[in-house]
């Protein structure tokens, strides 16, 4: 993750600030999503691929009547049980999956409190799914696609702070 942080800092510096870098990254995503020649973002209609970042529309979750809130434009790191390795190509369609072990990822995320963000999605309910090449992860991390249903961003931040407080009292982490 250190490389992604460095790349975000570099993109921010090149653009003249983080806000300009975010706008540039969002413009890149919109253009790359439509481009036939730019393979840094590709359409993807299949289930998540392990270790790849997926961006999609999720308007109607199966349990939407009981969910207090959800993000209708999630940006997720796909995790399923199969994996094969990593490609060095800057082509989102042809890159191999990164080998990730779910329990190790969860352990890492729990350590920092990010288990708050672990979600499951029903593949058939995803719309307009894209996959982002590894080399473009810093750009996609800068993008702000949030479209929260049932909650505002300040409420999410408050819920996360509460999660961190209760997490710190747990003895199993």
**pLDDT tens sequence across 120-144:** 888 889 999 999 988 899 999 999 9
pLDDT of residue 170: 63
Mean pLDDT for the stretch of residues 103-132: 84
Q: According to the 3-state scheme, what is the secondary structure of 63-131?
A: CCCCCCCEECCCEEECCCCCCCCCCCCCCCCCCCCCCCCHHHHHHHHHHHCHHHHCCCCCHHHCEEEEE
87: pLDDT strictly greater than 50: no
pLDDT of residue 84: 41
pLDDT of residue 1: 57
- Confidence class for position 2, pLDDT limits 50, 70, 90: confident
């Amino acid at each position: 993750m250190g490389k992604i942080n460095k790349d975000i800092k570099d993109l921010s510096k090149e653009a003249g600030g983080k806000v300009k870098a975010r706008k540039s990254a969002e413009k890149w995503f919109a253009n790359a999503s439509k481009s036939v020649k730019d393979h840094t973002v590709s359409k993807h209609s299949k289930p998540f691929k392990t270790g790849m970042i997926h961006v999609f529309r999720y308007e109607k979750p199966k349990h939407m009547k009981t969910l207090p809130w959800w993000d209708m434009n999630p940006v997720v790191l796909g995790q399923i049980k199969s994996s094969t390795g990593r490609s060095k190509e800057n082509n989102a369609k042809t890159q191999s999956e990164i080998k990730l072990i779910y329990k190790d990822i969860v352990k890492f995320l729990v350590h920092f409190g990010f288990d708050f963000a672990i979600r499951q999605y029903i593949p058939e309910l995803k719309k307009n799914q894209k996959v982002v090449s590894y080399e473009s992860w810093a750009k996609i991390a800068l993008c702000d696609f949030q479209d929260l249903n049932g909650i505002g961003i300040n409420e999410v931040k408050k819920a996360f702070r509460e999660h961190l407080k209760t997490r710190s009292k747990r003895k199993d982490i």
